[in-house]
Amino acid sequence: MKKKYAMAYIVDRCVDCKACMVACKAEWEVPEDKFRTHIDTGVSPDYTDTMRMHFLPHQCNHCDDAPCVTVCPTKASYKREDGIVSVNQKICVGCKYCIVSCPYDARFFNHELGVAEKCTFCLPRIAEGLAPACVTTCPGNVRVFGDINDPNSEISALLRDAATNHYKVWKLRQDLGTRPNIYYIQK
């Protein structure tokens, strides 16, 4: 069966240490003021006794129905067989249309190269059998990466486990029809 790469975050393990952001930046020489992955912070429910802080990692969702791919005039943004949404920097004209089309604000403009840029699930690393840099670095084991079409992968096991234990599992803004491939799990 074809591979389909996906990532899950076990969000209640995240402590906002931002090691993933740093690891990603160091690995890929991301421009100084930009990041390919972020940690959002939020407070909920607002102004109550049970109020608590949440940390929510996010990055490119490698959407199955990716607006960034639909709108790219040159077909520089494309969806690979293995599910990864990639940018061919050789033919990216730098129109930034994909950047405004992404509901997850996952892309940015690389001013040095003049092209759009985003998370690639560490393509060169996974080709060598390594995990993405953020996954390797995360001290809390928040991030689980793998092939969801392989029932023996760690991510498949995690999602099965989450289903049997009725953990809360969701994806971001599914209402937009982008069919993202990042799973959020709250135990």
Which residue ranges make up the site for ligand SF4 (CB under 6 A)? 60-63, 66-68, 71-74, 76-77, 85, 87, 92-98, 102, 104, 106-107, 115-116, 118, 178
Give whichever of 64 and 154 is closer to another protein, judged by the CB atom: 64
User: How many CB atoms within 10 Å of residue 8?
Assistant: 24
Site for another protein contains 17 (CB under 8 A): no
Nearest to 39 by CA among 11, 61, 63: 11
Rounded distance between C-alpha atoms, residue 171 and residue 152, angstroms? 22
Rounded distance between C-alpha atoms, residue 52 and residue 43, angstroms? 6
Site for another protein contains 26 (CB under 8 A): no
User: How many CB atoms within 10 Å of residue 152?
Assistant: 8
- The entry of another protein, ligand SF4, none that residue 174 binds, CB within 5 to 8 Å by partner kind: none
Rounded distance between C-alpha atoms, residue 19 and residue 74, angstroms? 35
Contact pattern from residue 98 through residue 137 relative to another protein, giving x for each residue in contact according to CB under 8 A and a dash for the rest = -xxxxxxx--xxxx-xxxx---------------------
Site for another protein contains 51 (CB under 8 A): no
